[in-house]
Amino acid sequence: MTINGAHPIVLTNTQTGRKEPLIPVNPGEIRMYVCGPTVYNLVHIGNARPAIIFDALRRYLEYRGYRVFFVQNFTDIDDKIIQRMNREGWDFDTITATYIREYRKDMQALGVREPNFAPRTSYFVPQTIRFIQGLIEKGHAYASDGEVYFSVPSFADYGALSHRKVEDLQAGARIDVDPDKRHPADFSLWKKAKPGEPSWDSPWGSGRPGWHIECSVMASVLLGDSFDIHAGGNDLIFPHHENEKAQSESLTGKPLANLWLHNGMLQMGGSKMAKSVGNIIKIREAVQRYGSDSLRLYMYATHYRSPMDYSEERMDEWKRSGAKVKAFLREIEEALEETTLKAADDWLLEKRADLTKALDDDFNTPKAVALVYETVKELSPVRQTLAQPGGESRLRQAYHLIKNEVGDILGLFGDTSEESGLETPADDTSDFDSLVDFLVRLRDRYRSEKNYEMSDVLRLELEKLNIKLMDGNDGTRWIRS
């Protein structure tokens, strides 16, 4: 279970269309950014797909020995939010706080872990203004009548991610071309305030950030100019990710992310699940009806890049399949006094190798799920296996494999509904410590850039957590005060 295993982790990079090895920017550490929800309604199970898949990828990278910094934002400035505010008379703070809270509840119900950082767009407006100013200074953006646009022709690499040509975009541009734009493909970085909209002061007048710039800003503030993985649904490739990439790389001159990962869409009756199509099922409805394990198993059964179709029949099947594994685990718990693994034997090592081989290869979760079912089949019925020589040891290995390895990575089989005695004690401080390490390094970076405003903000926030910083020649150390 070492990072330098026999086979490197490879993942399909949307930009090249090829499987590429995951080579961390900083050894031993993976920084990843996943585009989060726009907080204006309850999310549906189409949104559960990236949440579950990239949560599992994060867990797997940790299993493989990496420290993972996982950022997923809340988009709380957006047309859809404003439309709902105006239509139903909500105020900005109430609508955004409500749906952030409800999203968190849904994720908890799905067993999706909280990100290390869950920034809100509206908290990053000053940084956004600075980012846009930087783009204007470098000739990649221009202001026009209270709006600021990104100049698409100024970024030679535009279209590289989504494999589009700027000329084609121009040809496809609609007739209602904005007269303020220099090129039809140019897009808004800053939108001029309209009456009844939340707005902020800026050098270009009152207004708000455009959608794409928000992610560029939060990613760069929290993860740096270049990080390892940028992920999201494949409906975000164009224009959202193409634009994020153009903005960030124009400003920094560095690749924004080494790997761009995209999950396929969840469909129902052959069309993408979307509020506008009217074929949505809310996450909480599905969890209530089938349980989170069934929903997770169903998502893992298809490779994350492929489209998949939702049907009640399929969900019923996965509910039964999940129950089968839990019954197997329960039988082991009943047959053995305690299920602790004493030592891993060749059988477990071989299964573990199969598991990592599958997940290292573009995160092949269907194979990982199949491994669980092969194991259940191989060792059922439990009483019969137990009666054989070495049977007890084999059952312990299988229990450990399914519950503590595959189960932990894929967030499955947590509740076999009976005490197993195998619960790993809660890892009380290590997550917190990694986070503090990271914040301290971020502060160091601000200090080296002489951005004392941000470095002081971080020092004060850390003090609130009773973290005392000691600046020295070889970097900053910290202790609990």
Please give the residue ranges that form the binding site for Zn ion (CB under 5 A): 35, 215
The minimum distance between CB 35 and Zn ion, in angstroms, equals: 3
In the complex with Zn ion, which residue's Cβ is closer, 210 or 291?
Answer: 210
Distance CA 185, CA 187 (A): 6
In the complex with Zn ion, which residue's Cβ is closer, 39 or 402?
Answer: 39
The minimum distance between CB 464 and Zn ion, in angstroms, equals: 29
In the complex with Zn ion, which residue's Cβ is closer, 36 or 291?
Answer: 36
In the complex with Zn ion, which residue's Cβ is closer, 215 or 246?
Answer: 215
- For 12, residues 6+ apart whose C-beta sits below 8 A from its C-beta are 18, 19, 20, 261, 305, 362
Strands 10-13 vs 18-21: parallel, antiparallel or unpaired? antiparallel
In the complex with Zn ion, which residue's Cβ is closer, 231 or 297?
Answer: 231
The minimum distance between CB 215 and Zn ion, in angstroms, equals: 3
In the complex with Zn ion, which residue's Cβ is closer, 69 or 413?
Answer: 69
Q: Are 396 and 351 a contacting pair, CB within 8 Å?
A: no
The minimum distance between CB 408 and Zn ion, in angstroms, equals: 28
In the complex with Zn ion, which residue's Cβ is closer, 14 or 455?
Answer: 14
The minimum distance between CB 236 and Zn ion, in angstroms, equals: 7
Placement of tokens 């489209």 in the chain: 307
For residue 286, how many other CB atoms are within 10 A of its CB? 23
Name residue 282's beta-bridge partners. 44
Q: Which helix (H) or strand (E) holds 294?
A: helix 292-300
The minimum distance between CB 197 and Zn ion, in angstroms, equals: 21
The minimum distance between CB 102 and Zn ion, in angstroms, equals: 20
Q: Are 358 and 371 a contacting pair, CB within 8 Å?
A: yes
Name residue 90's beta-bridge partners. none
- For 106, residues 6+ apart whose C-beta sits below 8 A from its C-beta are 42, 43, 48, 283, 284, 287
Structural tokens at position 179: 């007269």
- For 175, residues 6+ apart whose C-beta sits below 8 A from its C-beta are none
